[in-house]
Amino acid sequence: MIAHAADSLMDAVDRLAAPVCVGIDPVVARLPEGLRQADVTTISAAEAIGSFTLHLLDAVAGRVPCVKLQSACFERYGHAGVKVLGECIAAARQRGLVVILDAKRGDIGISAEHYAAAVFGDGAGRGDDARPDWLTINSYLGEDGIRPFLGAGRGAFALVRTSNPGGDAVQGQRLADGRTVAESIAAVVASIGEDFVGPGGYSSLGAVVAATRPEDAASLRRLMPRQIFLVPGFGAQGGGVADVLPCFSAEGRGAIITASRSVIYAFEDGKGGWAAGVAEAAERFADEIGRAAGLR
């Protein structure tokens, strides 16, 4: 029997009492000195970020329940980068981590089905380990752009309220009925998500709701009680603990707070070995959010 994506994610969170995710956005120029090269070819750059990612996975495994791999950081290196991305997904799953692929795919019809097959491996010729558990998707094409990405064992986080300042011009606009555009999208996500609710009460259709928009989070939580919120914007983007609390349910569940740069580049403060610095930052992050949510 294929495990339900939301149940698997919530089980992983509960095991570690850590509702957090480490975002892995590797940039060659910011790699530790031993991995960084002044002049790299496409292939060696892909290999360098792959090596960095594997060390990151070792550093955070057992401390956080899941990781979010930024597809663009790998895709920019062509087939070499895509190959490394698949290897890193497999390595993360082998370490017991739930894997979110941050690719923000979005299309309709057969194109959406092709994108879904490429990510989740239906006919892609990849092993099960190289398939992510979750994918970020663009919900602004409506139902036609959401349903093709859902199915047995698949999870999708639909964009609802994003952290970028430019998103306000669209997502914050008021409709004739008084709702914001983001709230109208939330209603669509909640409705579709009802068809994919697991035994634990959460849907495998989740929602991206930014930590930098705490004023909207409470209303979006009311509109989407069965959605797991993937919450970007914490840490380096300015979101703090108080900002993310409205994303959780009253029981301190249903939200996964993400941090990327503040964890994976923690070694840049120059203290100690770089992998140890990442591990310490991941542990602090997990403890801070776990305590704030009342899980520790």
Give the catalytic positions in this structure.
Answer: 104
Instruction: Report how far residue 240's alpha carbon sits from residue 231's, in angstroms, rounded to the nearest whole number.
Output: 11
Are 51 and 44 contacting, i.e. CB atoms less than 8 angstroms apart?
no
Are 196 and 7 contacting, i.e. CB atoms less than 8 angstroms apart?
no
Q: How wide is the angle at C-alpha 237 spanned by C-alphas 234 and 239, nearest 5°?
A: 40
DSSP state of 69: E
- Looking up tokens 């009460």, which residue turns up? 201
Are 204 and 198 contacting, i.e. CB atoms less than 8 angstroms apart?
yes
Residues in CB range of 52: below 8 A, 6 or more apart? 26, 31, 32, 35
